[in-house]
Amino acid sequence: KDRSIRINTENKINTCSQSVSPLAMSSTGVTLYEYGVANTTLEKITCFVDRAEVTRCVQVAINELEVGTDFKVAVSGFPSAVIKDSVRVRCQGAAIQEVTFAETEAKEDTTQSEKASNELLKEKKDILNEISRLDAHKRRIEERRNLVMTHAEHMVSTRCQGVAPPVNDDVVALTTVLESAAKQAEHADEQMISICQQLDDQKEALAQVEEKIRRLKREGRFAGSSTGQKGTNCMVGIATISLQLEELLDEKLDSNKRVLYLTYLVSRSSWKPSYDVRVDRGDSGSMEVTYYGIVTNATGEDWSEVKLSLSTASPSMGSVPPLPPTLEAKWDSKKPFRTQNRMMIKKESGPPMIQMQSNMVIPAQAMMNVAEEYSDEDSVDMDEPHETVEEEAEEEEKNIPPVSVSTFEIPRLATILSDGKEHKVQVNRFDAVPIFRHFITPHLEQRAYLQARATNTSNYVLLPSDRAAVFADGAFIANTKLKRVAPGDQLDVFLGVDEDVSVEHRCLKNTTKTGRANTGLFGSKEAKTSRLVKEYVTTIHNTKTQNAVSLTLVQLLPRSTDENISVELIQPKSAPESTSLSSAASSTFGIGSTSVGAVRNKFTNNIVISAQLPPKVKKDFHFEYHVTWPFESGHVVVERS
């Protein structure tokens, strides 16, 4: 029978048995089997986002026990990273009556831990002393070499100045000095090379010792000190399982043994996704995506040659939604500053110029990076409701776990040491056929960025990650971010600037016509209106000899923030409002299409132009808009929001 029970936790027990003898007798007369964690078998590791689940196997020999007999199994030596209320036990052929877990000081290991810690500290001190000695020797050699070379230079300079030794000894003495200086310099160089090599070896040894010390501290087993004081005893966990022997129904199993499976959660472990995206921009084009898991283990126990699973679940997050509060509409205790200010200005004579100028600034939301606006790479889908910055921040603070959880089984046995370092394991690899297009925002950069879009053909969900290494034609491009991509969804990566597509952006017109305040009784409305006119032309040249390019050109159209400010698009003529590029792009991205389509983004107000440019073709894209406002209202500026 399969039975499991949740443990009852205790604060601490008085004694700690590190014995590995399989059989003992408890104080109550019940047979007690004692094991250390090192004597158990590591079955499986499931690593979550912020912790890990460990499953261990204990085989208990019950040759002398009869059915119905009570017995206990104690497993000691669990690291301090174990979460006490997470321990689970299941067994076939025994009824689990009670499971307790407690922490205690490993008193029997204190002397050994202190000895090992002090040995590491002594080794570190010896290495530091050797490094200091080598540094001093290196400085002495450098000083001796500099002294020899200075003396040789002095002899040569005095000979050139005519203040030389006697004529008969002149050449011989100078030659002897130079030869001696060269030999001493060569000998000094050889010594320097040897000392530098010794220094590198000592520094590498020092790094290894420091890593061992850090590891002992993380595991709570560092008990040494340089002053000889005794360190604190490390904490270990003991799991005690009370069972009653039953008949083993499965005839295939050994009736003289009972197998216990202990499952528990440990902190100080995590994992996160990482990717390698390799794109070949040849005639056919190809994309290879390698999915990695970066696992960190600082639990205090090594995971060697074990079945490893990576899960997107986060047990630390709550699964119950927050209780909806009650909102109240009531008078604010503070007077609104803006309203009071306007009332004060209204009493004064003359137009409120300063107030109007501060309220009539047109944000250029479109000046953000095109990759964040129009690519699925780093932006929200245009078909989804737009959220403000405050709403997005509130969503992030909630940290609500996702409804769907993905679990990735690593196909090979993995070894993850408890060293706190990152260990990379491969989750999956798949191939895809990319579609290329170019993104251009000439107001920001006169460059064409190449994007590769492909379908996730694997059965795995690509999780969000800021560690995606992109390679194009074997060359490393950059580390970028990837959003969540479900199987069958589109994966977008940017491959940098394509030098085969040149971009030139010129301003043809930038004029401001200021209206007049006093135009008489019959003055025209146009005479009282100020107007800003801006006209640009963007020239794009496809220098490729064989391949056409698909373009997404983004022009920045200001958005009015006041009803008295009017923004009119002059060129391109037709730019319907749209929340998605798919409808417009479907008719203008087709192979062989040379028409130009333009839509206005509902959220950013920018103009998105889609076009197909054949090989060796140069094309001009004109863009013009007018901004008008009442002269009495003040002055309008166009700037980035």
**CA-closest candidate to residue 25, choices 77, 76, 67, 65:** 65
Give the span between the Cα atoms of 240 and 16, in whole angstroms.
12
pLDDT for 629 beyond 70: yes
Cα distance from N-terminal residue to C-terminal residue, the chain: 67
Instruction: Give CA separation, 156 vs 146, 216, 398, in Å.
Output: 15, 61, 78
Q: Are 287 and 422 in contact (CB under 8 A)?
A: no
The larger pLDDT score, comparing residue 363 to residue 441, is at 441
Flag the least confident range among 67-76, 252-261, 318-327: 318-327
Q: Are 548 and 560 in contact (CB under 8 A)?
A: no
DSSP-derived pairing of the beta strands 257-266 and 269-280: unpaired
pLDDT for 226 beyond 60: no
pLDDT score at 447: 94
Cis check for the bond before 572: say yes or no (omega within 30 of 0): yes
Q: pLDDT band for position 20 (50/70/90)?
A: very low
Give the span between the Cα atoms of 559 and 572, in whole angstroms.
17
- Residue 93 has which token pair? 């052929």
pLDDT score at 492: 92
Helix locations, 508-605, DSSP H: 582-588
Give the span between the Cα atoms of 494 and 14, in whole angstroms.
61
**CA-closest candidate to residue 610, choices 549, 554, 551, 539:** 551
Angle between helices 167-218 and 110-160 (to 10 degrees): 160
Residue with tokens 């590190």: 18
* b (16+ CB within 10 A) / e for 354-366: ebbeebbbbbbbb
The larger pLDDT score, comparing residue 413 to residue 400, is at 413
Flag the least confident range among 105-114, 237-246, 322-331, 392-401: 392-401
pLDDT score at 274: 95
- DSSP lists the bridge partners of residue 271 as 295
Mean pLDDT throughout 546-562?
92
- DSSP lists the bridge partners of residue 449 as 439, 497
pLDDT for 67 beyond 70: yes
- Residue 20 has which token pair? 């590995």
Flag the least confident range among 194-203, 484-493, 582-591: 582-591
pLDDT for 13 beyond 80: no
pLDDT for 243 beyond 60: yes
**CA-closest candidate to residue 613, choices 444, 440, 467, 401:** 440
pLDDT score at 237: 84
Alpha carbon 373 to its chain centroid, in Å, reads 21
Flag the least confident range among 426-440, 443-457, 523-537: 523-537
Q: Which amino acid is located at 554 in the chain? A: V
The residues, any chain, with a CB within 8 Å of residue 507's CB and separated by 6 or more, are 534, 535, 536
Q: Are 194 and 68 in contact (CB under 8 A)?
A: no
Q: What are the boundaries of each domain within the chain? A: 2-106+234-267, 110-218, 270-313+405-496, 354-389+500-639
Q: pLDDT band for position 633 (50/70/90)?
A: confident
pLDDT score at 523: 53
The larger pLDDT score, comparing residue 176 to residue 367, is at 176
pLDDT score at 22: 52
The larger pLDDT score, comparing residue 12 to residue 575, is at 575
Q: Are 438 and 552 in contact (CB under 8 A)?
A: yes
Q: Are 352 and 630 in contact (CB under 8 A)?
A: no
pLDDT score at 580: 53
DSSP letter, residue 402: P
Residue with tokens 């995590």: 270
Q: Are 112 and 216 in contact (CB under 8 A)?
A: no
Give the span between the Cα atoms of 439 and 589, in whole angstroms.
13
DSSP letter, residue 336: P
Give 320-357 pLDDT, tens digit per residue: 667 787 777 776 665 444 444 443 434 444 444 334 33
Q: Collapse the DSSP code of 169 into the 3-class scheme (helix H, G, I; strand E, B; otherwise coil) and give the result.
A: helix
pLDDT for 162 beyond 60: no
Instruction: Give CA separation, 238 vs 5, 22, 98, 248, 567, in Å.
Output: 17, 15, 14, 27, 73
Give residue 488's region: left, alpha or beta (phi > 0; psi -120 to 50): left
pLDDT for 290 beyond 90: yes
Give me the torsion for CA of 78, 84, 90, 95, rounded to 10°: 110
Q: Are 184 and 192 in contact (CB under 8 A)?
A: no
Q: Are 570 and 625 in contact (CB under 8 A)?
A: yes
pLDDT score at 297: 93
Flag the least confident range among 88-97, 356-365, 557-566: 356-365
Residue with tokens 């909806």: 324
Mean pLDDT throughout 239-255?
85
Q: pLDDT band for position 387 (50/70/90)?
A: very low
**CA-closest candidate to residue 307, choices 428, 410, 424, 416:** 410
Give 407-442 pLDDT, tens digit per residue: 899 999 999 998 888 999 999 999 999 999 999 999
Count Cβ atoms below 10 Å from residue 628 Cβ, excluding itself.
18
Q: pLDDT band for position 48 (50/70/90)?
A: very high
Count Cβ atoms below 10 Å from residue 169 Cβ, excluding itself.
11
Give 99-121 pLDDT, tens digit per residue: 999 987 765 455 666 778 888 88
pLDDT for 377 beyond 80: no
**CA-closest candidate to residue 367, choices 311, 444, 268:** 444
Highest mean pLDDT among 153-157, 237-241, 575-579: 237-241
Task: List phi, psi (to 5°) of 105.
Answer: -80, 135
The pTM score is 0.62
Give the span between the Cα atoms of 38 and 20, in whole angstroms.
9
